[in-house]
Amino acid sequence: MNSEIRLSVRKASAINQELYNWIATFVKNQPNKDVILNIDNTCGLTPEIVKRLENIDSRRIKIRIVGGYDEVRVAKYTAEHYVLMHRNDNVYSLDEIRRIMRVIVKIEAGINPAWSTEQKLIYFIGYLNDKIIYHPFHETQPSKDIRSLRGLYSGKTVCAGYALILKELCDRNNIECQYVEGVCSKEDAAKGVLTHAWNIVKLNGEYFPIDLTWRASKNKRGKALSFEDLANVNEFIKSHIPGKYEVIQDYAHTLKSIDGMYLATIDSIINRNKTYESTRFFGRRKDGSEYTITQVSEMVIENVLVYRYIYTPYENDKMGNPIVFYSTANVANMLMASQRKKKLEMQLREAKQKGNYKKAQDLEKMLEGSEFIEPSLTAVDDLLFSKANLQRAIDDKTHFIGGLDLDRGKKTTLKGIVVDPVFAKKINKKSSTYYRSDGTSFVVEEWGKIELSTGFVYRYSLYEPILVDGEWIIKKDTIFTDEDIMHDYRMGLSDIFLSRSRIDRKEKEAGGYLGRFSQDEIKIYDRGRTEFFKSGIYRYYEMSDKQVKDYVETLTFDDMKRLVRNYSITYVNGKPEVCSKSSGRIVKDKVLSLQAMFANIWLDAAGTKYMGNEPVPGYTYAFNSSCEELFKAISDFITDSMNRFGTVDTYEVLRMVEEKYDNYKYASEIVTKLFASEFAIKTINELYRLQNPSSLWRNKKLEVLGYNEETFKELARRKRVLEEQKKKLLEVVEENNRVVIRPRK
């Protein structure tokens, strides 16, 4: 094995003619030694530099890109394998450097000069999660392949790779970014191991956490970029404990959160044009026909998550004409669950072969309830995306194909596929498939209008199958026109106005603004709108102080015990206020006031009986072990509701408790009392919005669940309505080797 000499040149610009001469002489005189050049990052590293080094010796000259693996960090490691890993994983051959730089140049070509720092960051996040997946078989991969910049060209990496790549892009574009290592639990922290990596970035003088690994798994499941993926310190702090040598330690007091509306808006603008690789799936029906579906987004309709798919037939290794369909089934989730199941089954076989029965028992427990996954995927091929079901969805003009009907008991089972025609009509999204004379096709979906000072423009999402590096994938473009093109089927519109080359060109020239296509088939533009979409639109979205949120720690059960002992609710001029029991003073701090109010609301709801010698009447019943379990369940349901819908859906929380929590006989009664007044619901909303800032931007009319007989009458009425609706549901079934649709029994 050759030995080596390492030269620390720090900056690529320091590689000058004198150094070239020295390296050439050394390589000639020392044939058994390699030369490794240490540089902090790839800034200033040009193809010309790489070419000149290759001309000296393409095999024996390597480059170490330090990035997050700096010597200060390495010097603090106590385990030798960490030292070796962090000094060698980021050593690259010149050919690897060339491949890495080729991808980086491609990424940076998509940066708009008008973007702010945070807009560039959001662009990087969207790009990396679209193009790189978390390596499904990372356990068997060499460390250097998955904990380095190599993920840029391989398309697969792990947490350390994501964090190193993001830091490299930030370093190159003047964004202050830290590479951070740590653990996800206190147990691992006590062991002194390193199990995870993430980033902390500095924007406008504040520090924000980013975990691209979290975002990667959600992107694979078709989830849009949301607040929880980028900077929700409240959630982040629960599972990110930095190593003791990291610069920032006290996350609760040093990190900030970003408003969810700002992130959603910027993401929709920055990443409005993209390709989908990680959410594209291939299917094969029982009759042998093949198809592809690409899960492109999700939306909430009446508190129901609906997923948007681009469907194409797949024949002769080519995608056919694309069509938009909607479903309540998350196919990406099921495929990920199937991959996880296969992985666990493989580990189970290995554990049994090695006689590790304890591990085998744990794995068998983890596999419980997964029997439905494979039947579900079969149902996706032969029922959900069956030709008959797709044609029905087209004929009724809703393009809603329904969802899986799952029986969620102790073991989840698949009952079939169900379509609700009443719900389908509420989707109300118009789309049309267009065909060009060269045989290509695309689908356009309308997304409303954008108001400008000179009027408005129509906004559309255009999805088209394109060939990239020998693979067919779906490309999305967001286009803006001066006229409604949804029902214009002129061949000139497809061939000229919406040609692939013109769409790509207009994205660069005018931010996707296409103007209008006259009856004489002449392309007409508004010069002012061209300038607006080219650069001006980004200036309207600069992050302000209002979009930076303070971290509010989640209220715990023990916190509530302390609060009800020290604070009570009093009324001042008819308005409820929190009062200190010791001093009698009104609490002015907003967060403390909300927490104390909620604790007392919980006391009234759960303190169903009074006991003698209690510190507070009802305390014993409100804070026993059964109530603690119930509180955690309710808190999870409320948090889920807040993150999905922007408010607490009181009926949904009660339904979830009735359906999934039956450990405590007073559970339903406590939930009903908890939401007994508008004041209680408002308090709960405000508190949980502070704890889950992703929902701060949303607004929804609150439903009041009163604590009286009307509550249960309303629930009974809702159940009757649901039963009536169920009678109208359609069922997609298989009879005599053919798929048919009939009213559900």
Extents of the domains making up the chain? 1-109, 111-271, 282-424, 431-539, 552-707
Closest C-alpha to 26, from 42, 6, 40: 6
According to DSSP, the residues that pair with 199 across neighbouring strands are: 179, 210
pLDDT at 227 > cutoff 50 = no
Please write the tens of the pLDDT for every residue from 319-331. 999 999 999 998 8
Q: Which of 204, 202, 201 is nearest to 212 (CA)?
A: 201
- Name the helix (H) or strand (E) containing 341: helix 331-353
Which amino acid is residue 289, in one-letter code? S
Arithmetic mean of pLDDT, 24-38: 91
Which of 62-66, 123-127, 671-675 tops mean pLDDT? 62-66
Residue 419, classed as helix, strand or coil, is strand
pLDDT band at residue 715 using 50, 70 and 90 as cut-offs: low
Strand order in the sheet with 61-65: 3-10, 33-39, 61-65, 91-93
Instruction: Write the DSSP symbol of residue 407.
Output: E
H-run or E-run covering 531:
helix 527-531
Highest mean pLDDT among 32-36, 219-223, 544-548: 32-36
- Name the nearest CA neighbour of 308 among 463, 439, 121: 463
pLDDT at 224 > cutoff 70? no
Q: Which is more confidently placed, 402 or 80?
A: 402
Average pLDDT of the segment spanning 673-683: 88
Residues 6+ apart with CB under 8 A from 488: 517
- Can you tell me the mean pLDDT for 346-369? 86
CA distances from 454 to 196, 459, 482 (A): 51, 16, 11
- Using alpha carbons, list the distances in angstroms from residue 156 to 125, 150, 166: 15, 8, 14
pLDDT at residue 136 greater than cutoff 50: yes
Q: Which residues on adjacent β-strands are paired with residue 293?
A: 281, 311
Percent of the chain with pLDDT over 70: 91
d(C-alpha 383, C-alpha 389), whole Å: 7
Q: What is the mean pLDDT of the chain?
A: 85
pLDDT tops 80 at residue 302: no
Helix (H, G, I), strand (E, B) or coil at 121: helix
Q: What is the DSSP string of 224-284?
A: PP-HHHHT-HHHHTTS-EE-TTSS---HHHHB-EE-HHHHHHHHHHHTSSEEESTTEEEEE
For residues 106-111, give the mean pLDDT: 91
Q: Is 317 left (phi over 0), alpha (psi -120 to 50) or beta?
A: left
Is 61 in contact with 28 (CB distance < 8 Å)? Answer: no
- CA 207 to CA 434: how far, in whole Å? 46
Q: What is the mean pLDDT of residues 504-519?
A: 89
Please state the rounded mean pLDDT for residues 698-727: 62
* Tens-place pLDDT, residues 541-590: 788 887 887 777 888 899 999 999 999 999 888 889 999 998 889 999 88
Buried-exposed string 700-728: b where 16+ CB fall within 10 A, e elsewhere: eeeeebebeeebeeebeeeeeeeeeeeee
Whether 697 has a pLDDT exceeding 50, the answer reads no
User: Cα(380)–Cα(98) distance, rounded to whole angstroms?
Assistant: 42
Is the pLDDT at 711 greater than 90? The verdict is: no
Q: What is the CATH number that goes with domain 111-271?
A: 3.10.620
